[in-house]
Structure 1
């Protein structure tokens, strides 16, 4: 734990962490979860028989989508990715994790429809 330092390297680390925390807080405030509805979809085609859960029609806000993807991957214990293009974003989570994802979205008060 760093108590006090005049070293410029330490100051840069401290200010960099503060900026990351500030940006994360701003990203949570900018997206109104009541203004969009997530659409669920399962895909198998073109994936070698593997099932993928897709959350579509998310807002075009990269930091929000990135944080949501990270949380879903951790809580479901699987891999996944996100894409932000042409005004909408989409999250791909490996496997059929609809039930777990629906519970997480309910806790975050995000509306969803589909399977």
Structure 2
């Protein structure tokens, strides 16, 4: 099974045949961006319980006798600063950033014009 890839000579011909996008197709990414932003904001505000992460401290903070256990406890405490307490907060922030980036890309695409001029 072979895959046809256009070369440099056929790309300009393909660009001339391309039809301008309809208004609905040009505005669809704006709807997606707004949806991402809305869902991300809802997750940040609601903070659902299913996203709650239990504390990594299961055995307490008493000093450990073994060297490896003390090293593991120290590493756990260091990594805990970067771990989210609610996973849905992280997902919500990512959705908001993705929505804003998509909206910015679409706005810049519209400002650049249909023919790139």
| Higher strand proportion (structure 1 or 2) | 1
TM-score (ref. length: structure 1): 0.29
TM-score (ref. length: structure 2): 0.28
| Higher helix proportion (structure 1 or 2) | 2
Higher RCO by CA contacts (8 Å cutoff, separation 6 or greater): 2
